[in-house]
Amino acid sequence: MDDAASEIARLRAALAASEARAASAEADLAQVRAVVTTSEAMIRHLKLEIAKIRREQYGQSSERRARLIEQMKLQLQELEADATEDEIAAERVATRITNVSAFERRRPARKPFPEHLPRERLVIDAPSTCTCCGSPRIVKMGEDITETLEIIPRQWKVIQTVREKFTCRDCEKISQPPAPFHATPRGWAGPHLLATILFEKFGQHQPLNRQAERYAREGVALSLSTLADQVGACTTALQPIHDLIRAHVLAAERLHGDDTTVPLLARGATKQARLWTYVRDDRPFAGGAPPAALFHFSPDREKTHPNTHLAGWHGTLQADAYGGYNDLYRVDRRPALVISALCWSHARRKFFELADIAGNVRKGKPAHEISPVALEAVARIDALFDIERGINGMPAEDRLAARLQHARPLVEELHDWLMAQRGQMSKHNPVAKAINYMFEKEGRWEAFARFLDDGRLCLTNNAAERALRGVALGRTAWLFAGSQRGGERAAFMYSLIVTAKMNDIDPQAWLADVLARMPGIPVSRLPELLPWNLPAGSARQVAA
């Protein structure tokens, strides 16, 4: 018995030592990562300064040199945000281990807030009794002021939060309210300013260097690295909200999926990266779940990405016929296969391009050079769209009944007509290729016709395309993603901003509200901050 007890004690000591080594290794790794990203940011900063000095020394450089400087600025802001995220992660690990000191990144000294900005004093209610002994004999001995830079639409001001100090005449202890919480570590920016920076960068597609230039014109000098630091800190602070949105989207039984191109800055050029979205929108069949969108970034369009994004999820995916989704539809997939429902807008588009008279005229082609078969196909598909417009927003049972009565006969007639037309054409005929899109692979037509068996399904994948519309509009403004992590950060913020818009909420006002309330709310109440949980009639709600 003694031998067994000593062996158990030895094993426990070995286990404790192993856990301590693992924790220490985790802390060391976090600190090394923070040091590396900080060093990269410093190197980029120095390269940028060298490029600026060379341009000033040797006169006006070429347009290409100016464009390279803009690219370097974009890379620098992404690295600054990366460094802040890694530093916060290192600090969190260090707090769990007493023998590891937290990594602190060297930052350039921040200039004092401009004196010309108005000051608004918010005095926290002073204690009426000593916080130590409870005696009412306390007198004011001074005050501490915490200055927070805040923005009101087109008006800057510095909010001075005053914490008065009182000393006790009996016990001589000092009483003072606690310091205010900020949404980000080392917080100096108010929630409205943080929300403005985030929304203008990701919602209005204004890079941080352009924001810094505009702020300077308004009399407030904020460097590019200072703004990027806050973007990285806000991304970390908003992670719990993003996790709740992600869980809500992946809890759906039906999703819309789509992707779009995003230029990614690479060595000497850009390459085509992708931004993916998965949308939960139950409004077409009067579902009670609020709409939401989840975005992902990837450096390419490999099929491994949808498999990773939807790992563990099963249901019906409404998407285009992209082959990268095929592994999701396999019968042996675990935990279960994903059911494919294809988009009729994609099918119609291929016929419409062959029957577009106005498009032919714009291209310099004769207006009569259109395909009568393609024109007839468009007319038949448009009849299905007319039916869908009449049942949009109705309960799933009513939608299914209407489709069985009105849409199913049209779909069956369209199937027979398309098969007959294809049999009379050469396989190289453009119309035959458009028809083959709907019959090309086994099960393709069944996926198009699946909406006839489920009232929850939509005829199109337009919900996902609408979610990506802002990205397509913004590509001309922000040119490219500065790095892999910069693209992932953009996908993170698009998830928040697009979800707010889908719920008819002003994204900037909502982000400001979340950043203001998060520091003082327990984890169990975080769902209250989701955009669809705002109080009815709130001033933060804005009609779409």
Position of tokens 């006839």?
Answer: 452
3-state helix, strand, coil in the chain (%, to 5): 55, 15, 30
Per-position DSSP letters for 142-153, written without gaps between them = EEEEEEEEEEET
Cβ(143)–Cβ(167) below 8 Å = no
229, exposed or middle or buried, with CB in 10 Å at 0-12, 13-18, 19+?
buried
Angle of helix 224-237 relative to helix 63-95, nearest 10 degrees, comes to 40
> How much is the pLDDT for 363?
60
Query: CB-side exposure of 281: number of CA atoms within 13 Å?
Result: 27
CA dist., res. 380 & res. 360, Å (int):
21
Specify whether the CB–CB gap between 480 and 262 falls below 8 A.
Answer: yes
What's the chain's Rg over C-alpha atoms? 29
Q: What pLDDT, in 10s, does the model give residues 373-387?
A: 998 999 999 999 999
Q: How many residues does the chain have?
A: 544
**Paired strand residues for 169:** none
Q: Where are the beta strands (DSSP E) in 119-218?
A: 119-123, 138-152, 155-168, 174-175
Q: Which positions of the chain have pLDDT values less than 70?
A: 1-2, 44-76, 96-109, 153, 268, 357-369, 474-481, 536-544
State the architecture of 238-342+461-505 in CATH terms: 2-Layer Sandwich (3.30)
Block residue for tokens 């040199």: 65
Give me the pLDDT at residue 10, please. 77
Residue 315 is predicted with a pLDDT of 96
Are residues 341 and 451 in contact, defined by beta-carbon separation less than 8 angstroms? yes
Closest CA to 502 of 239, 240, 293: 293
Domain coordinates of the chain in residue numbers?
Answer: 2-95, 238-342+461-505, 344-460
pLDDT tens-digit series, residues 10-19: 777 777 778 7
Write down the pTM of the prediction.
0.79
Torsion of CA 209, 212, 213, 218, to 10 degrees: 160
3-state secondary structure of 515: helix
Q: Residue for token digits 């005050």?
A: 143
